[in-house]
A and B are shown apart, each in its own frame.
Chain A
Amino acid sequence: MSDHHAQAKSSGCGGLCGGKCGSTIQDGVIKNNPIIHQVLGVCSALAVTSKLENALVMGAALVFVTAMSNAFVSLLRHLMPRRIRMIVEVAIIATFVIIFDQFLKAFYWDMSKQLGPYVGLIITNCIVMGRAEAFATQNPPLLSIVDGAANGIGYMIILALIAVFRELLGAGTLLGYTALSTAWYEPNVLLMLAPGAFFTAGFLIWIINALRGRKDV
């Protein structure tokens, strides 16, 4: 019964991804969310979530980089000499991160100024390397792209949640527009600081795990 169900659900792109498309997306975005469950990529999640706009762009960057690097690592997985595979993975990841950074600097100058060094630091984001090593080296390219994008989206959703909370209560704005007027609302500066992000992320992980009744940690 459950097998039929799973097959029916993933039949949309099942032909191309060997029927694993749906479950891969679910894994990346929800079940095995990189921040909530794997607790990876937390550094940037704390650093760029003081504004919702920054969080969304950072999320988009991660979707692009993880999907592209997964694709290429997967394409090269049979050719790649095992001894240097980590270096190869980092080289591929770095290439796409720099391309994204250059693109931001050319066409989204203001955003690039705000994110500063954090775009470049995606190279060291454990989610990207983790997906390349754990998934792309063992799966076909299309499915690897799906996995990379799903993990990127999972990352983006959590960043956006943290950023909404922090920007709203820490600055009284959302996407730069005033949401809570300073006439009656005193912004909580602690939320704009790194510890504020830490508390927010911690509470978010707690709440989500409690809601799901997850016990096997």
Chain B
Amino acid sequence: MKNAVQTLIFAAVLGMASSTLLVTASLFTAPYQKANQKAEEIRNYLAALDAPVPENASAADLIAIFDRTIRQVERNGLECFEYRPDGADAPQAVAVAFAGPGVWGPIEGVMALEPDMETIRGIRFFKQEETPGLGSEISADFFLNRFKAKQIISSDGTPGFRVRKPGEAKGSNEVDGITAATMTSDRVGKMLDTLAKRIRED
């Protein structure tokens, strides 16, 4: 009986001590983590929109640029981010966010379109937990550059998008996937196909 009480007390004290440590660590790092997340998202939006950003821009700089040039509007029930560089009247590009399941966790990203709403201006994946060195390469420039000037409609006008096996992309709405990351490529393809259809739905 005495042993059991001792054990319980020990466990309770240890639990409280370690939770105090964890809460302290979390309170201390939370503002930095939030700022990192926010800046990361904004950096990706600006990059997808191909908006010029000064090198080594701080999180605050990025937020300032974002607030000045980007306006959030709703078009046909779709959350759109219109990009108007200083002095421009009409939007120069429109960004739409997307999300879906990856291999190890959710993937979130943003696709920017030219004002015609057909041609891809840029794309970024800002949240993903794909396999390091393989699937996570979807965030690498070599893959992102494949999307530039591609379309979200096929040559006969049907909305849709495909990520094909490496070397097999032919149509204007297809890109090559990543070697050794077939599952990630397929899932990204499905996500973008859904997005293309949602954008082109009138």
Docked complex: B1-54 residues within 8 A CB-CB of A: 3, 6-7, 10-11, 14-15, 18, 21-22, 25-26, 28-29, 32-33, 36, 40
The answer to whether A84 touches B7 (Cβ under 8 A) is yes
Q: Contact at B29–A102, with CB atoms within 8 Å?
A: yes
A80 within 8 A of B: yes
What residues on A are CB-neighbors of B36 within 8 Å?
A: 105-106, 109
Report the separation of the CA atoms of residues A116 and B107 in the bound assembly, to the nearest whole angstrom.
13
Q: How far is the CA of A111 from the CA of B18 in the complex (A)?
A: 25
Main secondary structure of the interface of B (DSSP, over half): helix
A115 to B7, CA, bound (A): 37
Among the 9-residue stretches B114-122, B127-135, B151-159, B183-191, the one with 4 or more Cβ atoms under 8 Å from chain A is B127-135
For B, the interface residue count at a CB cutoff of 8 angstroms equals 27
Q: How far is the CB of A88 from chain B (nearest CB, A)?
A: 6
Band of interface residues on A: 20 to 34
* B92 CB within 8 Å of chain A: no
A-B contact pairs, 17 of them (CB 8 A): A48-B132, A50-B134, A79-B10, A81-B7, A83-B7, A99-B21, A102-B26, A105-B32, A105-B33, A106-B28, A106-B32, A106-B33, A106-B36, A171-B133, A192-B133, A192-B134, A193-B134
The chain A residues found within 8 Å of chain B, CB to CB, are 47-48, 50-51, 54, 76, 79-81, 83-84, 87-88, 91-92, 94-95, 98-99, 102-103, 105-107, 109, 114-117, 170-171, 189, 192-193
